[in-house]
Amino acid sequence: MRKAFNFYRSYYDVAKELSDKDRALFLWALLQKQFDGVEPKLTGMSNFAYISQKHNIDAQVLGYEAKTKQKIEPLQGGSVGGLVGGLGQGEEKGKVKEKEELINSRKLKFADTLKPFVEKYGAKMIRAFYDYWVEPNKSNTKFRQELQKTWDVKRRLEAWSTNESNFKPKQQQTYNHDNNGLI
């Protein structure tokens, strides 16, 4: 659902020239087009004002749709009290699923960048590295690797390997009690 749009100075300048009634009609038509996708049915001066700004209005709506890939649907069930199309529960679940598919495809691309290093570092270490770096953020829109300002997979793996060997617990020496010596 659209939350905001740019209110251009030209909208204000045109509205100033209108009577109170035509100004209200023009501004209401502008708001309905921006938020609900409703094409106005105006007459007279309010229509003239709207037509004079139609290029800017349509460009904003198209820009929003392209940016969010969300089409603003006209109100359904009349002009008052209808529902904005595309906001049903099924569509929200679809958006969540789409978001998950998008992040999962990026995770697969990230996994592909690790494949050349499996022979050098072993599958177990690469898997641990992958699991750490694909932890998602709270909104599940990006994962840890994508949040890094800089990234060189070769250098990160070298550091990971070094740290893994530095932090592995050293094996304890076992004593053979029969011989009172080390095994």
Q: What is the pLDDT of residues 16-33, one digit of tens each?
A: 989 999 999 999 999 988
Report pLDDT digits (tens) over 130-166: 999 999 999 888 999 999 999 999 999 999 999 988 8
Q: How many CB atoms lie within 10 A of CB 34?
A: 19
pLDDT for 6 equals 85
User: Could you tell me the pLDDT band of residue 175, with boundaries at 50, 70 and 90?
Assistant: low
More confident call, 180 vs 55: 55
Report pLDDT digits (tens) over 66-80: 777 766 555 544 444
More confident call, 180 vs 40: 40
Q: What is the mean pLDDT of residues 85-114?
A: 76
Helix axes 20-36, 44-68, angle to 10 degrees: 20
Whole-number Å distance between alpha carbons of 112 and 114: 5
pLDDT for 73 equals 58
Average pLDDT over the chain reads 81
pLDDT for 168 equals 72
pLDDT for 86 equals 45
pLDDT for 54 equals 84
Judged against a pLDDT cut of 90, whether residue 171 lies above it is answered with no
Whole-number Å distance between alpha carbons of 139 and 99: 10
